[in-house]
């Protein structure tokens, strides 16, 4: 019964959180992405011209053409996929947060889980899943050259795991030395995030590179704000669900 409630309300909270995140992104994040994509598309057109001529030559020779990569069409299709991605991601985070809150409630049945608890949980999620990884690997706009994806993903997981472990021990540990666990937060940054030595916009003309660097800074701040609002709302909604619908089932 409790498991079904967690899943149901996790999906509901996730749907609301995904809608909120999408609304914020359409307001301030997506315009920055679209600005960067104009430079990326212009650069891709220049690079693709020789390839297009070679493809035409193969076509005249009767050779098969390689299939291009699929991507959603601009407009409603792209908006729908963005919304779906945000809702599914938010649902996953909501399920995880509700499960963690229920475990915490079992340890401390007297906890009230009011709006203050929700904001604290939301802030912890923001630090774990956005702020700590972003300190080493800031969000990147389209067209930026970056280190190999696999190495960045591995470091992101490292940052999330160590940050979550440090915060969890400090918050829920019983030992007076539990605050020493916060030292775990710096371990991924001592290891160092993977970066390229070159300018991420070196392949663009100087004017375009300067504009892209400006857009990159705007993108970092825009995503930081969007994720902060998302996590605070997710934490508040999850705490309300625990207090209103799950606390009695846990008891």
pLDDT tens string 76-127: 888 899 999 999 999 999 999 999 999 998 888 777 788 899 999 999 999 9
User: What does the pLDDT read at residue 223?
Assistant: 96
Is the per-residue pLDDT at 47 higher than 60?
Answer: no
Q: Could you tell me if 194 and 133 are in contact, meaning their C-beta atoms sit under 8 angstroms apart?
A: no
User: What does the pLDDT read at residue 62?
Assistant: 54
Closest C-alpha to 101, from 92, 111, 91: 111
Is the per-residue pLDDT at 52 higher than 70?
Answer: no
CB within 8 Å of 19: residues ≥ 6 apart: 83, 86, 87
d(CA 2, CA 24): 32
Percent of all residues in the chain with a pLDDT value above 70, rounded to a whole number:
88
User: What does the pLDDT read at residue 247?
Assistant: 83
Query: In 61-195, which residue ranges form alpha helices assigned H by DSSP?
Result: 76-107, 115-126, 132-136, 149-172, 187-191
Q: How many CB atoms lie within 10 A of CB 132?
A: 23
More confident residue, 48 or 180: 180
In eight-state DSSP terms, residue 16 is H
9-30 mean pLDDT: 95
Closest C-alpha to 236, from 101, 103, 96, 121: 121
User: What does the pLDDT read at residue 51?
Assistant: 44
User: What does the pLDDT read at residue 221?
Assistant: 95
């Amino acid at each position: 019964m409790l498991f079904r409630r967690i899943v149901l309300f996790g999906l509901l909270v996730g749907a609301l959180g995904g809608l909120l995140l999408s609304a914020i992104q359409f307001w301030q994040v997506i315009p920055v992405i679209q600005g960067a994509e104009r430079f990326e598309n212009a650069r891709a057109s220049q690079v693709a011209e020789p390839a297009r001529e070679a493809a035409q030559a193969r076509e005249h020779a009767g050779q098969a053409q390689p299939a291009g990569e699929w991507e959603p069409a601009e407009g409603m299709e792209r908006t729908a996929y963005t919304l779906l991605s945000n809702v599914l991601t938010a649902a996953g985070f909501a399920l995880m947060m509700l499960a963690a809150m229920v475990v915490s409630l079992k340890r401390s049945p007297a906890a009230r889980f009011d709006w203050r608890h929700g904001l604290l949980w939301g802030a912890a999620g923001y630090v774990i899943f956005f702020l700590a990884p972003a300190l080493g690997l800031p969000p990147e706009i389209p067209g930026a050259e970056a280190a190999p994806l696999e190495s960045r993903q591995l470091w992101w997981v490292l940052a999330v795991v160590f940050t979550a472990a440090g915060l969890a021990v400090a918050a829920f540990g019983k030992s007076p030395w539990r605050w020493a666990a916060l030292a775990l937060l710096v371990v991924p940054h001592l290891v160092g995030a993977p970066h390229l030595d070159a300018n991420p916009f070196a392949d663009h003309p100087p004017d375009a590179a300067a504009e892209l660097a400006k857009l990159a800074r705007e993108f970092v701040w825009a995503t930081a704000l969007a994720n902060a609002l998302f996590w605070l709302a997710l934490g508040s909604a999850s705490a309300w669900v625990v207090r209103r619908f799950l606390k009695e089932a846990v008891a």
